[in-house]
Structure 1
Amino acid sequence: MRPAMAFGALAATIGILCDDVAMPRGADWYRDAVARSRAAQPGFGPVYNGPTPCAFWKHAPREKPVAVGNGVPALLVQSTGDTHTPYDGALGMHAKLHASRLLTVPGRVHTVYLNGYSPCARAAVNAYLLTGALPATDTTCGS
């Protein structure tokens, strides 16, 4: 992708995100968020918890936030040390998706399925994709 095209895609993404949800505007909020994230996310914590252009967005979001919920069985797979999608986010999503099961994979890895990191996770996802059946309870794969 050429730099101008990449910038255009980034600008569009920022516009969508900033119109989706209001962001805190105070520097103290971001400083505290970065400090809280450092232990669990030493690499990407400051990146994902620092201010974005949305902190300076002039307009309120155009729509109310989408209410998350489901009646369809969903399997959520999350590693405990993922630096891009923190485990706390998976716990929050799991709490909102009442018909879900959470498969926890210990370790610092992103994209757990099909990367060879966890045969346990691969087997659970394959079973879910083939049958639609969820594990009876939330499960943690061995390390």
Structure 2
Amino acid sequence: MFGAATANITPCAFWPYAPSEPPVKIDAEGPRNVLLLQNRRDASTPHRGGKMLREKFGDRARLVSVDDSGHGVYVLGDNSCALNTTTRYLVEGEMPAKDTSCRAD
């Protein structure tokens, strides 16, 4: 991290209090409606991290991998496949039947 981004970590890195809640355990138990969005060339959160998270969620999640760069798929991105898949999920509650790969527009 460098520049202004380093200011974001300071409060957490030096927080003097114990956590008020236990860490959330990510595994195959829980709601079966988790949609993960990941750009393939995101320098901030690499695609392999999205794939690892998808594996942790097991069958209760779907991963939408987008052939794009940058950090932010839905609000900041303009890939029609990713936008349509995510909007369908948010508006109609429709999850993709399997993990989805969106080509570059």
Please indicate, yes or no, whether the TM-score normalized by the shorter chain is above 0.5: yes
1:110 aligns with 2:68: no
The equivalent of 2:26 in structure 1 is: 68
Normalised TM-score (structure 1): 0.56
Deviation at 1:10, TM superposition (A): 4.2
Shift of 1:107: 2.0
Q: Deviations over 1:18-59 (max 9, x none)?
A: x88xxxxxxxxxxxxxxxxxxxxxxxxxxxxxxxxxxxxxxx
Counterpart mapping for 1:72-111 below 5 A: 72=31, 73-98=33-58, 99-111=60-72
Local SS of the residue matching 2:70:
coil
> Alignment RMSD, CA only?
2.6
Which structure is larger by alpha-carbon Rg, 1 or 2? 1
Q: Does the C-alpha gap of structure 1 residues 141 and 10 become closer, same or farther in structure 2, counting only changes over 3 Å?
A: closer
Question: Matched residues in 2 for 1:64 and 1:92: separation?
Answer: 22
Which amino acid counterpart does residue 25 of structure 2 have in structure 1? A
Aligned with 2:86 (options 125, 128, 133): 125
Greater relative CO (CA pairs within 8 A, separation 6+): 2
Q: Secondary structure at the match of 1:137?
A: coil
Task: Give the strand-richer structure, 1 or 2.
Answer: 2
TM-score by length of 2: 0.74
Q: For each residue in 1:72-114, what CA deviation from the matched residue of structure 2 results, as whole angstroms up to 9, or x when unmatched? A: 2111010110011111110111011120000000121211113
User: Which has the larger helix fraction?
Assistant: 1
- In structure 2, the CA distance between the partners of 1:102 and 1:12, relative to structure 1 (3 Å rule), is same
For 1:107, what is the secondary structure of its paired residue? strand
Check if 1:15 corresponds to 2:14: yes
> In 2, Cα distance between the equivalents of 1:95 and 1:116?
24
CA separation of 1:11/1:94 partners in 2, compared to 1, >3 Å: closer, same or farther?
A: same
* Alpha-carbon offset, residue 119 of structure 1: 1.1
Corresponding residue SS for 1:112: coil
Q: CA deviation at 1:117?
A: 2.4
